[in-house]
Amino acid sequence: MPDSQLTTAQDTAIRGGSPDSAVDRVADFYGAYIDAVSDGTDDLGTELRAHYLTQDFQQRLAAWEEVNHADGVLRAQDVPTRWEVRYHDNGAGHLFTTVTLTWGTGPDAGHTVLAVQSDLSTKLISDIEDGA
């Protein structure tokens, strides 16, 4: 059985997905991107951005990072310890997901909520904003 399908006492969810699902693609992107950043493989993070983000958004993200001196995908300078993606809504050719990033472990862990927009026609991420 592949590692991605193993279960543990803490995480009983079996992971799966579909390349046809924009929600799954957001989850795939965040999982791979966080792994790449955590592992220190800068080239892979850049390649993942090129594959999963619209070109326009890549340019806007670079401008955001220049001003904020942080990773625009994570909206932080550090790497989260966990991530979660949930469907939020869709309309006007876009799908909206909520990404929750967890920082640290235990009862003192912090959370960042991001609102991620994907274009339904391409399934590419076209915006990331601070969520509620």
pLDDT of residue 11: 60
pLDDT of residue 1: 41
Residues in the chain: 132
With a cut of 70, list the residues of the chain below it in pLDDT.
1-13, 132
- As a dihedral over the C-alpha atoms of residue 80, residue 53, residue 86, residue 117, rounded to 10 degrees, the angle is 120
| pLDDT tens digits for range 91-111 | 999 999 999 999 999 999 999
Domains of the chain: 21-130 (3.10.450.50)
pLDDT of residue 12: 67
Q: Residue 31 CB: number of other CB atoms within 10 A?
A: 15
pLDDT of residue 34: 96
Look up residue 115 and give its two tokens.
């609102």
φ and ψ at residue 130, rounded to 5 degrees: -60, 130
Cβ-Cβ contacts under 8 Å for 30 (sequence gap 6 or more) = 73, 83, 85, 99
